């Protein structure tokens, strides 16, 4: 039985296979409509979510399965003090696979160690968000045609942004990927990513403060919001929240085929006027989240769908 805690849980070859499967699901959804008949997905979300929870649920419904779960800690017995270990032992009796989002780093890992069903980390605190990374990889691969030979700018809250941490971990495994890390001093990438991931693997990267200075070099710009929920005080959040706002003027500095990604939700960091720019790919990215989660559910449940016969 396999779980997904980090994008590194899959080899590059397995990731390629998963992304191929997601692309096939996008092209031929009918082929997969009954692949999970009789199977149940539990979504256990101790933190707010729109895309991750609902795209997981849409994914299982598209596969013919059913969903159950809770959308906040308050509406589960966590509010009465139940541990995540006990919760997953019980959920294992009710469902075939489980996606967990939790504010504490490592919570999904703890759950996986007690689980009798595959557990998917749907975001653990400021640590990792591997299914967002699968979504990001699918979007980059389909729009740029490759995952190697790119310069990617990661902009905003690089300290608390778990999607950024997971994406860096995943992309360093491809050839010739250069990172430009764009953040204010206080929101720079954590030392463990800079030293243990980038420097230890001799990956080319720069840290800059001005988005304008990086724009012209980028193949992909990955914007992120400032993570209000992880700040210790509101004053710091208010001071930093509008540090970067992507506007039409800044887009004019970019290559004509650069793409803009954002895991969403957006607050202010991309002006809505950018939405009509053909390079804005963040809503396509959210759509891809359904296909990769369908592919992930099939992979972890070891369900193979045969080619249709006429």
Angle at CA of residue 241, ends 278 and 253, nearest 5°: 35
118 vs 123, which CB is nearer to ligand CP? 123
Looking at 51, 53, 144, 159, which residue is catalytic? 51
Helix (H) or strand (E) segment spanning residue 282: helix 282-300
214 vs 286, which CB is nearer to ligand CP? 286
Q: Where are the beta strands (DSSP E) in 107-249?
A: 119-124, 150-155, 177-182, 205-208, 220-223
Nearest approach in angstroms of CB 1 to ligand CP is 25
Is residue 101 annotated as part of the catalytic site, yes or no? yes
| Residues pairing with 99 in the sheet | 43, 120
Is residue 102 annotated as part of the catalytic site, yes or no? no
195 vs 275, which CB is nearer to ligand CP? 275
49 vs 121, which CB is nearer to ligand CP? 49
Looking at 3, 101, 225, 262, which residue is catalytic? 101
11 vs 50, which CB is nearer to ligand CP? 50
Is residue 2 annotated as part of the catalytic site, yes or no? no
Looking at 39, 53, 102, 129, which residue is catalytic? 129
Angle at CA of residue 52, ends 106 and 16, nearest 5°: 85
| Residue 87 contacts residue 77 (beta carbons within 8 Å) | yes
Nearest approach in angstroms of CB 46 to ligand CP is 12
Q: Which chain residues interact with ligand CP by CB under 6 A? A: 49-52, 123, 132, 263-265
Is residue 80 annotated as part of the catalytic site, yes or no? yes
- 31 by Cβ neighbours in 10 Å (0-12 / 13-18 / 19+) ranks as middle
Nearest approach in angstroms of CB 49 to ligand CP is 3
118 vs 263, which CB is nearer to ligand CP? 263
Q: What is the spatial distance between Cα 31 and Cα 119, in angstroms, rounded to a whole number?
A: 25
Q: What share of the chain is helix, strand, coil (3-state, %, to 5)?
A: 45, 15, 40
Is residue 173 annotated as part of the catalytic site, yes or no? no
Q: How many helices (H) and strands (E) does the chain have?
A: 11, 9
| Residues pairing with 69 in the sheet | 43
Q: Where are the beta strands (DSSP E) in the chain?
A: 40-45, 66-70, 97-102, 119-124, 150-155, 177-182, 205-208, 220-223, 259-261
Nearest approach in angstroms of CB 52 to ligand CP is 3
Nearest approach in angstroms of CB 115 to ligand CP is 21
Looking at 39, 40, 52, 133, which residue is catalytic? 52
Nearest approach in angstroms of CB 50 to ligand CP is 4
Angle at CA of residue 221, ends 216 and 223, nearest 5°: 130
User: Which residues form the catalytic set?
Assistant: 51-52, 80, 101, 129
């Amino acid at each position: 039985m396999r779980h997904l805690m980090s994008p590194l849980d899959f080899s590059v070859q397995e990731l390629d296979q998963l992304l191929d499967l997601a692309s096939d699901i996008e092209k031929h959804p009918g082929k997969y409509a009954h692949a999970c008949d009789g199977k149940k997905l539990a979504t256990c979300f101790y933190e707010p979510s729109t895309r991750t929870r609902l795209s997981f649920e849409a994914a299982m419904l598209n596969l013919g399965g059913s969903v159950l779960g809770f959308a906040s800690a308050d509406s589960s017995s966590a509010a009465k003090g139940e541990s995540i270990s006990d919760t997953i032992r019980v959920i294992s009796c009710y469902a075939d696979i489980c996606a967990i989002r939790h504010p504490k780093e490592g919570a999904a890992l703890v759950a996986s160690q007690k689980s009798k069903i595959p557990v998917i980390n749907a975001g653990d605190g400021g640590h990792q968000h591997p299914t967002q990374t699968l979504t990001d990889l699918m979007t980059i691969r389909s729009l740029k045609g490759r995952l190697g030979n790119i310069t990617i700018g990661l902009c905003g809250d690089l300290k608390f942004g778990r999607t950024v941490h997971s994406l860096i971990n995943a992309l360093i495994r491809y050839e010739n990927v250069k990172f430009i890390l764009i953040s204010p001093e206080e929101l720079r990438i954590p030392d463990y990513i800079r030293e243990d991931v980038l420097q230890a693997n001799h990956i080319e990267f720069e840290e800059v403060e001005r988005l304008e200075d990086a724009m012209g070099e980028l193949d992909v710009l990955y914007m992120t919001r400032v993570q209000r929920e992880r700040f210790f005080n509101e004053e710091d959040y208010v001071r930093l929240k509008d540090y970067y706002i992507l506007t039409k003027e800044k887009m004019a500095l970019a290559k004509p085929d650069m793409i803009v990604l954002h895991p969403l939700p957006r607050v202010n960091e991309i002006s809505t006027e950018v939405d009509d720019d053909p390079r804005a790919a963040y809503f396509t990215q959210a759509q891809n989240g359904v296909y990769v989660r369908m592919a992930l559910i099939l992979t972890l449940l070891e369900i193979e769908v045969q080619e249709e016969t006429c």
